[in-house]
């Protein structure tokens, strides 16, 4: 059954027709009027109260339909999660950086919600996965310790912002030492709690130096993400999060590549369009690149401080059960899985059967056109598919088909 889905116009979204969110909404909702001045940030597919999907045929909220027909979720989902869709499916179009953030584990989320329900509004964890639709830039996880130590020595503004004592202590340990994580935590805490005026002075100094014609540091250091530091400082002047570009891995995912963000891993989305799927939660602990509330103490205390390379941050798919047209991204959490379905039909009027799942699934069409019974399906269409239901699409032509299927693999 076809859905009409909500979209969000957050300030960081890509404007007008440059946004994949706007493109999909315009294609899938004929009554939509696009404004080139509006930032279209997120398309929400699911039952979350902040942006609930409704049945296109009747306007009934999907959440109400599920409550009235709980069997559509599938037996395993019902047993594990109750009468609710356990995931939220999104498309994101990012123009300016989102906050430096992490998400709590399930047990920590319960503690935070009990202690501060106005800030942490539900007791659920929020693991999430992002898959690039266009080149997608993000910060994710701490860099290898050797790279962080290199920047502490090569970028005097960073060592000054951290402070001499914690910087020296981190420089004195090797990655193999158990104390390395504690020293990295001490550095992050010192940086995040430094007086904002001092952070501003050091950031201004770094920006001036990186902006100077022929700056030798920017030109000679291939590790230094000079352009990124300058861009973040323009978007968030004086924000301590700008220094996180030197502590966290910078990745540019190519279309089809993915990141899985488990609990307690620092990250920030910077630019581009992606598919995102997550547990149904709003719990975010922020500490930089944001005008919103920063819970520095909670963030510093919860992170894993595991250092990995950028390549190690990539999350790889498995095969689609022998179907080369399907890639399945199965993270180590029960709440969600994601399948990417991509192929070029060999001939017109080809039939394609969407993989049958034993959970309810959401199907987003990014490209291709087809019919499913009397329903016309094309770019921007979103279908809710009950558990164990077979959906056969009659493809209208030979253009490439790209679809994403959100489901639970329990």
- CA 393 centroid distance within chain: 29
Pick from 264, 256, 212, 210: nearest CA to 232: 210
Please tell me whether 11 is known to bind a ligand: no
Report yes or no: 203 and 243 within 8 Å, Cβ to Cβ. Answer: yes
Is residue 125 a known part of a binding site? no
- Return the H-helix or E-strand segment holding 45: strand 42-45
Gap between the Cα atoms of 109 and 263, Å rounded = 10
Q: What is the DSSP letter of 146?
A: H
Whole-angstrom distance, CA of residue 133 vs CA of residue 342: 12
Rounded Cα–Cα distance for residues 143 and 374 (Å)? 52
* Rounded Cα gap, residues 85 and 256, in angstroms: 25
Query: Phi, psi (5° rounding) for residue 145?
Result: -55, -35
Distances from the Cα of 347 to the Cα of 31, 344, 350, 374, 399, angstroms: 32, 9, 6, 21, 10
**Cα–Cα dist 186/180, whole Å:** 10
Tell me how far apart the alpha carbons of residues 205 and 217 are, in angstroms, rounded to a whole number.
Answer: 13
Active-site pick, 286, 308, 357, 394: 286
101 assigned ligand-binding residue: yes
Task: Specify whether the CB–CB gap between 372 and 393 falls below 8 A.
Answer: yes
Give the dihedral sign, CA 307/312/313/315.
Answer: negative
Known catalytic residue at 14 = no
According to DSSP H, which parts of 246-370 are helical? 296-302
Using CA atoms, how far residue 372 sits from 112, 121, 275, 325, in Å, is 45, 39, 23, 19
108 assigned ligand-binding residue: no
Q: Which residues are known to be catalytic?
A: 286
Q: Binding site, residues?
A: 101, 103, 128, 267
Q: Binding site for Zn(2+), residues?
A: 101, 103, 128, 267
């Amino acid at each position: 059954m076809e859905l009409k889905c909500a979209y969000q116009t957050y300030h960081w979204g890509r404007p007008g027709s440059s946004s994949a969110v706007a493109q999909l909404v315009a294609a899938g909702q004929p009554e939509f009027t696009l404004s080139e001045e509006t930032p279209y940030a997120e398309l929400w597919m699911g039952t979350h109260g902040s942006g609930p999907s409704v049945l296109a045929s009747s306007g009934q909220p999907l959440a109400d339909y599920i409550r009235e027909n709980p069997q559509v979720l599938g037996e395993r989902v019902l047993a594990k999660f109750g009468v609710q869709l356990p995931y939220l499916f999104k498309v994101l179009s990012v123009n300016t950086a989102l906050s430096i953030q992490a998400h709590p584990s399930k047990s920590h989320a319960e503690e935070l919600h009990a202690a501060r329900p106005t800030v942490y509004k539900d007791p659920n964890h929020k693991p999430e996965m992002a898959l690039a639709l266009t080149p997608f830039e993000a910060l994710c996880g701490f860099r290898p310790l050797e790279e962080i130590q290199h920047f502490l020595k090569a970028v005097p503004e960073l060592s000054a912002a951290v402070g001499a004592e914690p910087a020296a202590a981190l420089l004195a340990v090797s990655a193999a030492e158990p104390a390395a994580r504690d020293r990295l935590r001490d550095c992050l805490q010192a940086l995040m709690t430094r007086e904002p005026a001092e952070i501003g002075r050091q950031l201004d100094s770094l920006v001036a130096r990186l902006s100077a014609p022929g700056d030798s540091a920017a030109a000679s250091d291939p590790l230094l993400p000079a352009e990124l530091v300058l861009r973040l400082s323009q978007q968030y002047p004086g924000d301590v999060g700008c220094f996180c570009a030197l502590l966290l891995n910078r990745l540019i995912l190519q279309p089809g590549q993915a990141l899985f963000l488990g609990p307690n891993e620092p990250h920030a989305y910077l630019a581009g369009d992606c598919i995102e799927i997550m547990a149904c939660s709003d719990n975010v602990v922020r500490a930089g690149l944001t005008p919103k509330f920063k819970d520095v103490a909670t963030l510093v205390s919860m992170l894993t401080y595991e250092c990995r390379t950028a390549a190690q941050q990539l999350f790889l798919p498995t095969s689609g059960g022998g179907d080369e047209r399907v890639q399945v991204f199965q993270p180590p959490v029960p709440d969600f899985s994601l399948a990417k379905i991509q192929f070029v039909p060999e001939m017109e009027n080809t039939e394609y059967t969407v993989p049958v799942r034993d959970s309810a699934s959401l199907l987003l069409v990014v490209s291709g056109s087809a019919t499913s019974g009397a329903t016309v399906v094309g770019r921007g269409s979103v279908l809710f598919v009950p558990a164990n239901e077979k959906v056969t699409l009659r493809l209208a032509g030979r253009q490439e088909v790209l679809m994403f299927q959100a489901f639970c693999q329990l």
